[in-house]
Every structure is written in structure tokens, then in C-alpha cells.
Amino acid sequence: MKPPDINGIKDKAAIVGIGETEFSWDSGRSEIQLACEAIKAACDDAGISPHQIDGLVRYEMDSNHETLLVQSLGIPNLRHWESVSYGGGAGNAVVGHAAGAIAAGFCNYVVCFRAANLRSQLRLGQARNPERIAGGAQSFAAPWGNMAPAHHFGMFVRRYMHLYGATSQHFGWVAVTLREHASRNPRALRQTPITLDDHQNSRMVADPLHLLDICQENDGAAAIIMTSPDRAKDLRHADTPILVEAAAQGSGPQKDGIIYRPDLSIAESVNTAKDLWARAKLGPSDIDALMF
């Protein structure tokens, strides 16, 4: 199917403020407090008051309901709010949704945020009650123990190894490199480098994934402020707004069943990438910084 011919958000929205809390194993605060701290920091960075916020875009799996957040921040008129589904993949989606709301004129200043106690409270890596998650494609996974992200991606990695000849050591070098980068970041949770032997000797969590392959769930919050390029000219970072060029997302009939496919290319990702390049009028050769 041919994608839409227009990109209604290209250069019509800008990121003008960024804020975050510290990241820790136990924040000692509620998720709503973490959210307010990060949003206030983003507002300070942008040079606006929280009272000017009239749009909210967040993603799910936390306790930060819009009504409670409006009360806590004293927002007088919330014109637009959205909640995007899914976990780690929603970080970029909220930016696209916020840009669309600004381009459409639904609101003037949108905050995108995530605030969660993913270490001291909800643990996404923990197995959940099979009766709650055994619908749809999960009917063929959860009753047999495939309930947490590590279980899911362990099967994915095993298939990748089978197809392309990768080994656990190859994945280990990724963990070693990431920890080396973290050792240079004073705000990182893990500041001590690891070796490949450390990785290989860490316990197996979901074969072939070792403990040091798994993400570091933690407590914390981050927020950004978005507005139109015209309004950005009057704010603190008037000379350096981050313009949104394009956004794309996609899903398909097997979203929850990708571990059962023989093909790892994932058609949804391929289609989404095509949409993104077409909307941005750019290509891979134009990119010099890539973040996942």
C-alpha cells in the first residue's frame, strides 16, 4: 500500500526543553512526583511555566493519570492528551503524536514524559499472572512460561544465531561496549566496566541471554517540551530548537507473534522505515547519529 503523500508535521513542531530526574534503584518517591519533577525541569529549560502546558502525551504502564498530573502541576486548561501503548518502543511514538497535535493546532505547548518506578515497584522483567496475559498470540506462549520480555527476546536471539551464525560472545561485546560508554557518564547507574568473561560467566536468564544482556530496570523520569517553531523563537533556546522532520509507526496482524516467524526482518519495521524516509525526504546516507 502506498503511504500518504503528505507529511503534515515536517518542520511544524520543535523540542524546546528537556528535563529529567536522577535514575536510581529506589527513588523513594511516587511516580507522580517523579513526573512533576521532570516536567518542571523541562519547563525551566524551555523558559515557560507549567501553567502554559495545554497538551500531554505519555505512554502507559505507570500510575500517572492525566487528571492527577493536571491537578499536581496546576494546569488551567488541558486541551489535548494522549496515552500511547507499549513499553520501550513508545519513546519515539510520543514525539510523533505530540508533533501531530501541534501541527493540527490542538494545543500550544505539549509535554511528552515517562515517569516510572520500574525497579522499586513494577518490574517489567518479572513474570506476570498467565491468566491476565494469555489472550491472542500470548495464548501460545504464556501458559508455557514465556511471560517476560527476556523470555520473548531469548527466542528471538536464538533464531538470529541460527540464521546468521552469531554467538553469545558477539552479544557479549555489545554489553561490554555499552558498559564502557556508561563508565564515562556520571549519571549512569552502572559506572564500572565489564569484560567479556564477566558477561559469559553471568547467570543465564533466558537462554541464550545472560544476566548482563538484560536491560537495567530502574526508577526515574524524563520529559520534553514541544511547541511550534514560531513560539520557539521567543523561548530560552530560540537559536537551537530541535525541529521534528518526520515520524512513522506501524503494526500488523502478528505484532505479538513475531517470535513464531521464520523471517526476522519484521515487515512492520520495513514498512515503517519506508514511510519515515519518504516523509522526511531523507535517506540513510543523510544520517550521522543513530539512537535506539
CATH number for the domain spanning 45: value is: 3.40.47.10
With respect to residue 259, please indicate whether it lies within any of the assigned structural domains: no
Strand ranges for the chain from DSSP E: 14-20, 55-59, 80-84, 110-117, 204-206, 209-210, 219-227, 242-243
Q: Give me the mean pLDDT over the 126-137 stretch.
A: 57
pLDDT over 70 (residue 255) = no
Same domain as 144, residue 91: no
Question: How many domains are there within the chain?
Answer: 2
Do residue 152 and residue 106 come from a single domain? no
Are 99 and 229 in a shared domain?
yes
Specify the pLDDT at position 177. 97
Give yes or no: residues 167 and 183 share one domain. Answer: yes
Residues 198 and 140 in one domain: yes
| pLDDT at residue 2 is higher than 70 | no
Query: Are residue 148 and residue 28 in the same domain, yes or no?
Result: no
- Give the whole-angstrom CA distance, residue 133 versus residue 138: 7
Q: How far apart are CA 174 and CA 213, in angstroms?
A: 8
Q: Which has more confidence, 155 or 16? A: 16
Q: What type of residue sits at position 2?
A: K
The pTM of this model reads 0.87
Mean predicted confidence (pLDDT) in 25-40: 94
Bridging pattern class, strands 80-84 and 55-59: parallel
Phi and psi at 184, nearest 5°, equal -100, 0
pLDDT at site 211: 96
Q: In this prediction, what percent of the chain has a pLDDT beyond 70?
A: 85
Q: What is the pLDDT of residue 147?
A: 78
Examine the fold and report which residue of 213, 236, 262 is the final residue of a domain before the chain moves on: 213
Q: What is the DSSP letter of 2?
A: P
Strand partners, 206: 209
Q: Is 149 exposed, middle or buried (0-12, 13-18, 19+ CB in 10 A)?
A: middle
Q: Are residues 61 and 134 located together in one domain of the fold?
A: no
Q: How many residues does the chain have?
A: 292
Among 77-86, 137-146, 165-174, which range has the highest average pLDDT? 165-174
Do 203 and 221 sit in the same domain of this protein?
no
Q: Is there a single domain that holds both residue 208 and residue 161?
A: yes
- Of 35-49, 151-165, 277-291, the range with the highest mean pLDDT is 35-49
pLDDT bracket for residue 180 (50, 70, 90): very high
* Structural domain boundaries enclosing 168: 130-213
Determine the average pLDDT of the residues in 187-199. Answer: 94
- Regarding whether 91 and 140 lie in a shared domain, the answer is no
Domain boundary among 190, 213, 236: 213
pLDDT score of 268: 75
Q: 148: Cβ–Cβ under 8 A, 6 or more apart, which residues?
A: 124, 125, 126, 127, 128, 206
Cβ(23)–Cβ(229) under 8 Å?
no
d(CA 58, CA 97): 10
If asked whether residues 158 and 103 sit together in one domain, one would say: no
Give the integer Cα–Cα distance in Å for 63 and 230: 34
Out of 140-149, 223-232, 257-266, least confident range:
257-266
Q: Which residue has the higher pLDDT, 266 or 83?
A: 83
Residue 142's pLDDT is 74
Q: Which residue has the higher pLDDT, 255 or 142?
A: 142
Domain boundary among 194, 213, 232: 213
